[in-house]
Structure 1
Amino acid sequence: MTKPESAGHDYDVVISGASLAGSAAAILLARRGVRVALLERRSDPEAYKVLCTHSITANAYPVLDELGLVPAIEKAGAVRNEARWYTRWGWIEPRAAPAGPELPYAYNIRRSVLDPLIRSRAAETPGVDLLLGHQVTGLVREAGRTTGVRASTPQGEREIRARLVVGADGKDSAVAKFAEAPVQQYENARFGYLAHFRNLPLHGGIGQTWFLEPDMAYAFPNDDGVTVMAVLPDKKRLPAFREDLEGSFLSFIRALPEAPPIDSAERVTKIIGLVNYPLHSRKPTTPGVALIGDAALTGDPLWGVGCGWALESAQWLAEAVAPAAAGGGDLDRSLAVYERRHRRRLRGYQYLAADFATARPFNPVERLMFSAAARDEAAARHMHLFASRLITPLRFLNPVALAKASVVNIRHRGAAVPPARLSRTGS
């Protein structure tokens, strides 16, 4: 184990949760000279998150690159996450511009592959001690700030002191609960179920998402020829699903436009899901504590943003606090920098997601943008950048983009008018 260099601290940082966010943060902090204890409540180094979209949005590609994981996950069979989206106006099918750069991408990869991979990389990083079977049971507090954790371990109770405690322990974060981090919660009027299938061909071999207003569905191809198939219906349909989960799940998929041939595929997992999956936004810092990943913000699973934001928030935290966490700066000021960046980058997305989680049809602005994207390649590329979380909601809905979408739709309506009608009304 890494020997502590300060009599007052066992480590510079203690991270609770050794999945995607926690392992990424541990690697990035340790590379910046921070001594990290990475705690994982499960004892199995191969443990992984089961309920997930298994997709990393393109906004997180730079983090994967910094972590050095791109070659490894490509070797593991990760699939570039190209996608097309069904709407009432037809399919939105983003394509690169002629002679232009390829569209930004990241990867679809099952967490059963990704989680052990990144956790092992963290364990191999100098300055990181991976402590399996360590579950946080409380926080150590002194003078109004957190100075460590109490943990249940295979050897009994243990206290670990650190300058900073990081909660990377998911949407039901124990660290956030013990720190009494303020939280805002939004109800989700949809429920969701998913299963994994092998040999399920998809149109173009790429991901598919269905906007059925208000119901949703998606199919994401993953490593090893496995496709994740998910349905997210309005809760009004819940009684039927509860009465016959398998029958309702399969019937829902069969009724999709250009439905994948589900009956000829091999289902390789159980149908799993959650009836209640609220969105929440927590204040990502308290004195001596930082929250990353789902512990800080849990979005609507239909957008598949959780993995990408887990990686990004880990990077933002490491960039903001590393010098102070190692004892070379003002930690509270560094935490404030992280909090501002987290709020600035994600608040707008979460606002839109919470509004759409009410299971309403598209609003007028969404109708404008989605219909234009189904009719125009440039509008589809603009939509792709937003869906990849590479442009903010304000940039997605900027006046120029709205004007271009309006022109696309006006031209479409004009082209749809029969010539005879034009001659009668043109005089």
Structure 2
Amino acid sequence: MTKPESAGDDYDVVIGGAGLAGSAAAVLLARRGARVALLERRSDPEAYKVLCTHSISANAYPVLEEIGLVPALEKAGALHNDARWYTRWGWIEPRPAPGGPELPYAYNIRRSVLDPLIRSQAAQTPGVDLLLGHRVAGLVTEAGRTVGVRASTPQGEREIRARLVVGADGKDSAVAKYAGVATRQYENARFAYLAHYRDLPLRDGIGHVWFLEPDMAYAFPNDDGITVLAVVPDKKRLPAFREDLEGSFNAMIRGLPEAPPIDSAERVSKIIGLVDYPLHSRKPTAPGLALIGDAALTGDPLWGVGCAWALETAQWLTEAVGPALAGQGDLDKSLALYARKHRRTLSPHQNLAVDFARSRPFNPVERLMFSAAARDASMARHMHRFASRLIGPLRFLNPVAVAKASAVNYRHRRATT
């Protein structure tokens, strides 16, 4: 609901940012009894993030279920995000095991549809006050602890106090800045451009990802017959690429193996891009404060995990602090639990992403695993679980999987010599 300006300004939680992470956290915390102020700097409830892969990986499906958003996504035409991946050894095409369950999935859906859906869900949740046109302009602190925010609104500045302040305001988080949370930044040696096409057929109607070493590209079919098509080249190509943006974009797409037929499809958006998009990490907690989504960690957009991690971190925070906000635990200890979960789960993925963002070819271990996945169905399923962030790097590279990949490649060499 939208809160009237005359109402009281004390809450259990104040969340800065009503995108995926903030709206999800608002819903989940309010359902556990917290009174939540959800601040959104934009006044339009239909506002959405433009630059995005528009894909939610399978690790976030349980969060969508808990929020209750799955039926609305299905009704809105969201597509299961099945995909195949091109490598120099051929296509990796994950398929269910014979007689086994379907592969885990989540959804491809445009943010122009997704963001208003989840924001509306938050606004309709009892205990949530959606405050549109409210920008975090500072923090209220007492004895070194964050106890609220100062918000700039169309009616002037107001102070909103809470037991917990949550920054869900993206990679350039104002909450993190005002809290003095340090940022570790890592160079991304690739750039990206994307565009939306209507009626662009893809084999099997599923997503395609091209590992071109070091360049990348992907095509993700979305709702309403729209496909998001992106190229992610090495920055060494940037000056020549920008001289003729449309020509360079089209030429790279046309040169892909099993290239999407863009000449017979309708481009329905501008070609938009990310010329400089470093990866960054921040400590996700401070006294009285937590960061979720891109405010805590921004990965490499080529992996398409940002939406899912926004949802997952909202769930992790709720699970950690929910009891304390209900009077059944210590909030600082609960925040420490969230920080530990965040670090242990996401740091290994981020470390790999930082290394790959140097725009390098596959290393020997990656060559082993990707080549085996292109040649063996069970290895392809193993790769799918990792790409969906259902398992971490340690499980992906466990001794049994590495031994199996080695055996697959050995048999392949024997068969081709």
TM-score of the pair, normalised by structure 1: 0.96
- The alignment partner of 1:219 has SS state of strand
Asked if the contact 1:55–1:81 (Cα under 8 Å) also holds between the matched residues in 2, the reply is: yes
2:293 and 2:278 mapped to 1: Cα distance?
15
* Correspondence 1:18-417 to 2 at 5 A: 18-417=18-417
Q: Displacement, 1:110? A: 0.3
Asked if the contact 2:218–2:230 (Cα under 8 Å) also holds between the matched residues in 1, the reply is: yes
Task: Identify if the C-alpha distance between structure 1 residues 47 and 2 changes in structure 2 by more than 3 Å, giving closer, same or farther.
Answer: closer
1:118 and 1:397 mapped to 2: Cα distance?
35
Q: Displacement, 1:394? A: 0.1
1:136 and 1:182 mapped to 2: Cα distance?
18
Percent identity for Structure 1 against Structure 2: 81
Q: Displacement, 1:184? A: 1.4
Which ranges of structure 1 fall in alignment gaps of 5 or more residues? 418-427
Instruction: Give the AA of the match of 1:273.
Output: G
1:314 and 1:182 mapped to 2: Cα distance?
21
Instruction: Give the AA of the match of 2:36.
Output: V
2:384 and 2:235 mapped to 1: Cα distance?
28
Asked if the contact 1:20–1:310 (Cα under 8 Å) also holds between the matched residues in 2, the reply is: yes
Instruction: Give the AA of the match of 1:375.
Output: R
- The alignment partner of 2:273 has SS state of strand
Asked if the contact 2:207–2:221 (Cα under 8 Å) also holds between the matched residues in 1, the reply is: yes
Q: Displacement, 1:328? A: 4.1
Q: Displacement, 1:254? A: 0.5
Q: CA RMSD in A?
A: 1.4
Task: Identify if the C-alpha distance between structure 1 residues 2 and 276 changes in structure 2 by more than 3 Å, giving closer, same or farther.
Answer: closer
- The alignment partner of 1:15 has SS state of strand
1:252 and 1:416 mapped to 2: Cα distance?
32
* Length, aligned pairs only: 415
- The alignment partner of 1:318 has SS state of helix
Asked if the contact 2:3–2:130 (Cα under 8 Å) also holds between the matched residues in 1, the reply is: no
Residue by residue over 1:329-388, the C-alpha shift from the partner in whole angstroms, topping out at 9 and shown as x without a partner, is 311111000000001110100000000000000000000000000000000000000000
2:280 and 2:3 mapped to 1: Cα distance?
36
List, as ranges, runs of 4+ consecutive aligned residues in structure 1 with deviation greater than 6 Å.
Answer: none
Q: Displacement, 1:263? A: 1.0
Q: Displacement, 1:327? A: 4.3
2:38 and 2:320 mapped to 1: Cα distance?
19
- The alignment partner of 1:101 has SS state of coil
TM-score of the pair, normalised by structure 2: 0.98
Asked if the contact 2:136–2:149 (Cα under 8 Å) also holds between the matched residues in 1, the reply is: yes
Q: Displacement, 1:246? A: 0.8
- The alignment partner of 1:230 has SS state of strand
1:54 and 1:230 mapped to 2: Cα distance?
11
1:325 and 1:177 mapped to 2: Cα distance?
25
Larger-gyration structure (1/2): 1
